[in-house]
Amino acid sequence: MTTDTDAMDRQITMTCTPVLVWNSANDIGATFTFAQTNGVPDPMNGRVGSDGSINLTALPHDDSYSDNIDITIMLDTSRMVDQNGNPVAGRWAQPGEFSGTGPVTGYGWFCGTDANGNYSAAVPITVPDMTFVRVSDSELVIDDDTPDDAPGYAYAMGLVLPNYGNYYITLDPRITTKTSVGTNFMLGETSSC
């Protein structure tokens, strides 16, 4: 992390596009694809894969920017349809909205590890100097103020279908330390943290 207090955080903006999977009216899943729409400074562009992976290797030094990377996640509901192909409304969950799958609520949280050492959406933790913010029904921001050697972490997000009794679907990409040279900073997954 640069010590220049005037340095700005690097930024990545990406779109998350869910496709609903209808097992039954009471069992709805989703797959997700990601697309990067912006990066600041310019070398931050082209970093997001369709699975949500973010490759932060070989970024050039720039005194105008810190090594903190803020991530904006925009929800794109254009591919959300019911079994008959009719559009389905969706939004990021609201604060305190219950997932029904464990001790977590709301639009987003950071994940700890389970007894086997695997990231788990059911184990919410606090990550020092990392903030999850719900800007609107369609925008979430992860504000990164961590040092380069911060430990790996994962996060989960709640997608809600308001016209289906506020049905709640958890999405949980994984993020690892920024200093993992040769690896992805964030690995997108849809099954578990």
pLDDT of residue 150: 66
* Per-residue pLDDT tens digits for 68-122: 889 999 999 999 999 999 999 999 999 988 766 566 778 888 777 778 877 777 7
* Per-residue pLDDT tens digits for 157-170: 889 999 999 999 88
pLDDT of residue 77: 97
DSSP secondary structure of the chain:
----TTPEEEEEEEEEEEEEEEEETTEEEEEEEEEEEEEESGGGTT-B-TTS-B--TTPPP-TTEEEEEEEEEEE--TT-B-TTS-B---EEPPTT-B-SSSS-BSSEEEEEE-TTS-EEEEEEE--TTEEEEEEETTEEEEEE---TTPPPEEEEEEEEEGGGTSEEEEE--EE--TT-TTS-SEE--SS--
User: Looking at residues 25-53, what average pLDDT do you find?
Assistant: 87
Residue ranges per structural domain of the chain:
8-187
pTM of the model: 0.81
Please, which pLDDT band fits residue 184 given cuts at 50, 70 and 90?
Answer: very low
User: Looking at residues 166-177, what average pLDDT do you find?
Assistant: 70
